[in-house]
Amino acid sequence: MDALRRRIGLVAVAFMFAAVMLQEVAAVRYIVGANMGWTSNVNYTIWAQGKHFYNGDWLFFVYDRNQMNVLEVNKTDYENCISDHPLHNWTTGAGRDVVPLNVTKTYYFISGKGFCFGGMKVAIHVENPPPPPSSSPIKSASPSLLSTLRGQIFVPALFTVAAVWDAFVLLL
């Protein structure tokens, strides 16, 4: 009985590790403007079009540190290119600034020093991450299909994780 409980505990821990690893893999770091970087004469509305930004993703601004900067502002200041009172100044001075998109909201970024007026601005709509692909079909599946799915996927997966864990424990 104790051995079984221990085994179940170990499998649970292994699943937690797996879940954390999956989350890490799923987060995306976007280089703003892709190979153009953060500069003038790029339409960032077009760059952001069709992309899905999820809570947990990152933005990476790469630019000429002697000229531009990265300021997070509110919607009004974004529309009017006002850089006097940013919500957050992400400029570190290296010309390479990383912004974690850790709130589900629309972020507004501009470059100060006059560049915003030339179009150096981007609005990033951050959404909640979608549920993992396997969970939605299972949720809506009928009970019999559900048990079939469990039998075919879930149980073998459990054994695989348990086997991997056993191998791991043997190594210790």
**Which residues contribute to the site for ligand NAG (CB under 6 A)?**
43, 45-46, 69, 71, 74-77, 83, 85, 89, 91, 93, 100, 102-103, 112, 119
Q: What is the DSSP string of 54-104?
A: ETT-EEEEE--TTT---EEE-HHHHHHT--SS-SEE---SSSEEEEE--SS
Shortest separation between residue 60's beta carbon and ligand NAG, angstroms: 14
Query: Would you state the structure tokens that stand for residue 9, as one six-digit string?
Result: 């505990």
Q: Are strands 29-31 and 58-62 parallel, antiparallel or unpaired?
A: parallel
Shortest separation between residue 131's beta carbon and ligand NAG, angstroms: 21
- Name the residue with the smallest CB distance to ligand NAG: 119
Q: Which is nearer to ligand NAG, 89 or 158 (CB)?
A: 89
Shortest separation between residue 14's beta carbon and ligand NAG, angstroms: 27
Q: Which is nearer to ligand NAG, 35 or 76 (CB)?
A: 76
Shortest separation between residue 44's beta carbon and ligand NAG, angstroms: 8
Distance CA 95, CA 37 (A): 10
Dihedral angle, C-alpha 125, 131, 134, 137, nearest 10 °: -100
The three-state secondary structure class of 32 is coil
Q: Which is nearer to ligand NAG, 89 or 162 (CB)?
A: 89
Q: Which is nearer to ligand NAG, 98 or 153 (CB)?
A: 98
